[in-house]
Structure 1
């Protein structure tokens, strides 16, 4: 009997470790031109990626007319026909604050422009994603916008969700979408101190327990990007993307003064930015250990298992900062 019990336990563990219900690996693509580098192609192939969320355009207010208009639409230099493409539209919250906004017109033009891009590039995705950090002041009109998009597009619809919208969903409400994507990054505040604005576990922990009560099916978006915070006289004056510790260590114009902090030794131009002597750069990044921790915390606190883990974002610069099996390791936590 003891032997049979042990065999049963072994069989259970074996089948549990080989389940086929692990979430799939997907990526966001957040550039204005779609053209995959060899490194990016290899990463997609090695991780059996079939789905890419591509930012199609932003919706902002025209600086003069204050009328909503599309900003920096995607340009395809190559066709991603081998992948399931999901157009993502980033809707700035300030658009929804505009008085007398014609929400029917905005929704119709949004769907029309997505369709135009798809038709021009022979793409026919079955899903649209709306990315918007709506607030209490804009929740009503945002929810109406979602309803219009759903009706006009006749496609599956997903929406990005922030942690505060999970914790206070009874106030912020839940969009009528097929699924949400929890953006598990940009959790902290961009500041001159030693905190990491991309991910602060102490802050995230304040919201995690709310996940079990959130009624919408959620997938998770995790960060693989890094940046540097430009500081002058203890004040943040900007963010510099695609700038990490190794870049600064190789540059003699910068000297490392403590963990993640570099002081400008000589005034110089770098990446189109002028740095004065004694300015500071604080690098913020996400380690492999951070990603594992995030995945484990999300898995422990989720009401439902995610179907997808989406990494933000697919860029050779970001991929070079990780071992090639990092994405499989993270997904294995769920």
Structure 2
């Protein structure tokens, strides 16, 4: 259970947070046992991505649904920031229409996930306002990164009904020297400590997953989601340099990728116990009277089995 401190913030929440999960796989697998174990009340399900491709905002990784769902669901759309350096006025209509087409469950909220910047803020916020106009009977929510949470004057407050603070992907993924780019509690504290309550109802998202970052000649080359640990233990191909760090000693295929001798691999882990601890410490700092949920990213990770 999360721990709470009374009297924190100007407008503390009146009840403990409800748990929820992000579902990020293309094929819907709701993992009902895990949902029941953690008492989650809903899934935030990615329906598709949107990126700038061949001079146009194009959807990809569209959700495939083969099962029914016996709990509340929220469609989520991930949009790259680059889209808002080019996007036209029809983007909101296209996305609203595609959500209605691809998401087969009843929903009362739509969430947009985009790491906007000061340079794209105007276009992104205009998109959010238009999306709300097109879906007048739905709530519109969006994600807020740590830098957007802290640097509110420069980044702005998005014109939505509620937001969720993403307390992960905090480190420099491009640097081999980084300890863990998924979650670093010291870095998170630099963004959250001493901040006034966010002016929107704010939920909290924490990470539960692992991946491996592959570096070649000092630069990030690949990300491998939940790598095969049995293969990494093969000393004829990989040398263990330190906990969670490896060197490729013999050029080889790994996770469908061809890796060269002297490539470096750093495995990064955000486990469930750490996520629960982080949520317990952050909730009293960031929650306001409209806060409702701690959302775990993501439900399909093998880290829930450990």
TM-score with structure 1 setting the length: 0.81
Aligned residue in 2 for 1:332: none
Kept in 1: contact 2:17–2:293 (CA 8 A): yes
Given candidates 228, 246, 249, the residue that maps to 1:262 is 246
Aligned residue in 2 for 1:24: 18
| Of 271-280 and 176-185, the range deviating more from structure 2 | 271-280
Aligned residue in 1 for 2:74: 86
* Structure 2: gaps spanning 5 or more residues: 5-12
SS of 1:236 mapped into structure 2: strand
Kept in 2: contact 1:224–1:318 (CA 8 A): yes
| Of 265-274 and 292-301, the range deviating more from structure 2 | 292-301
Larger-Rg structure: 1
Aligned residue in 1 for 2:101: 116
* Separation in 1, partners of 2:218, 2:110: 42
Deviation, structure 1 residue 145: 0.8
Deviation, structure 1 residue 293: 4.0
Kept in 2: contact 1:166–1:210 (CA 8 A): no
Deviations 1:51-74 (A, max 9, x none): 0001011122232xx122222211
Kept in 2: contact 1:228–1:281 (CA 8 A): yes
* Structure 1: gaps spanning 5 or more residues: 1-12, 14-18, 323-334
SS of 2:239 mapped into structure 1: strand
Deviations 1:272-315 (A, max 9, x none): 01122232211111245532442233124225263111111111
Deviation, structure 1 residue 78: 1.3
Aligned residue in 2 for 1:102: 88
| Of 240-249 and 193-202, the range deviating more from structure 2 | 240-249
SS of 1:56 mapped into structure 2: strand
Deviation, structure 1 residue 212: 2.6
**Structure 1 residues 247, 51: closer, same or farther in 2, change over 3 A?**
farther
**Structure 1 residues 318, 303: closer, same or farther in 2, change over 3 A?**
closer
Aligned residue in 1 for 2:153: 170
1:49 aligns with 2:40: yes
Deviation, structure 1 residue 113: 1.0
By relative contact order (CA 8 Å, sep 6+), the higher-ranking structure is 2
Which structure has the highest helix share of the two? 1
The number of residue pairs the alignment matches comes to: 292
TM-score with structure 2 setting the length: 0.88
Aligned residue in 2 for 1:185: 168
Deviations 1:95-131 (A, max 9, x none): 1101xx422x11111111111123xx3x211110011
Aligned residue in 1 for 2:10: none
SS of 1:311 mapped into structure 2: strand
Given candidates 139, 145, 158, the residue that maps to 1:156 is 139
Given candidates 43, 49, 69, the residue that maps to 1:58 is 49
Deviation, structure 1 residue 143: 1.0
Kept in 2: contact 1:227–1:284 (CA 8 A): yes
SS of 1:299 mapped into structure 2: helix
* Separation in 1, partners of 2:235, 2:34: 29
1:223 aligns with 2:212: no
